[in-house]
Structure 1
Amino acid sequence: MDGETIPTVRVSVHGVPFVLAQLGEAAATATYAADPDVADEGWLSVPAATLEALAAAVAAYDPDHVPPALEPVPPVISDRQFFQQLALDDYITQAEALAAVRTGDLPPVLAELIAHMDEAERFGAEMLLSGAVEFRRDHPLTIAIGEAREMAPDEVDDFFRRAAAL
């Protein structure tokens, strides 16, 4: 489907905006803009045949639905939470997480990240990663680790939320 335009039609049912997208002979999606569970535009997609998709989207529409508020992003997490969440995300091993918390040994993937930093930044970064008792969300090293993991800022926020819950 690369480069193809997917045919869509915008409809309104009882004043609620829906978009139908034809994806094949029988498959389609129906969406409405009232549910923020899907990122960016806040559209909920319901795959099915065109008429079934519209019926499902209409049935799912709840004008009284108030989405749960996201937990605030904690500005600080402990070193234990930081390394444990990295292990739970399979970015480092459990043994590496334990060694980082117990003795300050850097996991190889983080040591590699430091090795690629400017010489003037290396010592401070290594001191922070091996000796910090807390990690700040707004610290430049946190941002650098997120970028190294190819994480968007909202994904780093989610990482901090998950870590804070540990």
Structure 2
Amino acid sequence: MSRYAHIVDGIVAEIITLPDGVTPGKDVLTEEVAAALVAAQSDTVVGMTFDGKAFGPVPAMPLPPVPVVISDRQFGEGLWHDGLITFDEYIAFVGPGTIPPALLKILDTLADDDTGQPTPRKIAIGLVTGAKEYQRTNPLVDIVRDAQGWTTEQLDEHWRAWAAL
């Protein structure tokens, strides 16, 4: 038996096994398909790459895109699932908008004063207290990421997981 890989756009699309003595493009298959066949080893599988000379591993699937927005409930539930806040804090957060102490501690690092005028801290507290959704691109998200010591990639992993809740 002869084993062939049918290559389409540099990827093994299928494995074809033919009896010995059967010639692709002559005895079976069209010449067009036969031109896209390459002798395959026993460990060649569908999905592998082929650069014209050698087979490569099956490419890793790309990560899904990071959601731009997650809801208030998804954000709170994600913080709870990850152990950053308690269940009671989660419920208070998504209900009346009570900021959990762990998150308030992060917001308390922002600039503030006693003038009653808008400051980064007051604006952030108003946003977090009243938000019904959180945008991944909001600068406050990166402030939380920095406070947790997460890389951008780690935050993206959390964001994807939280969006699925």
Deviation at 1:66, TM superposition (A): 2.2
Q: Distance between the aligned counterparts of 1:67 and 1:140, measured in 2?
A: 31
Residue matched to 1:51: none
**Number of residue-to-residue matches in the alignment:** 107
Residue matched to 1:145: 144
Residue type of the alignment partner of 2:133: E
Partner of residue 61 from structure 2, selected from 39, 57, 68: 68
Q: Does 1:111 align with 2:110?
A: no
Q: Does 1:95 align with 2:88?
A: yes
| TM-score of the pair, normalised by structure 2 | 0.61
Q: Determine helix, strand or coil for the equivalent of 1:135.
A: strand
- What is the RMSD of the two structures over their aligned residues, measured on CA atoms? 1.6
Question: Structure 1: which 5+ residue stretches go unaligned?
Answer: 1-58
Residue-by-residue CA offset, 1:95-149 (whole Å, 9 max, x unaligned):
1111100010010011111222101111110011111001011111000001101
Normalized per residue, the structure richer in helix is: 1
Q: Determine helix, strand or coil for the equivalent of 2:134.
A: strand
Q: Distance between the aligned counterparts of 2:57 and 2:101, measured in 1?
A: 50
Residue matched to 1:130: 129
Q: How does 1:150-161 map to 2 (within 5 A)?
A: 150-161=149-160
Residue matched to 2:115: none
Highest RCO, 1 vs 2 (Cα 8 Å, sep ≥ 6): 2
Q: Determine helix, strand or coil for the equivalent of 2:95.
A: helix
Residue type of the alignment partner of 2:84: Y
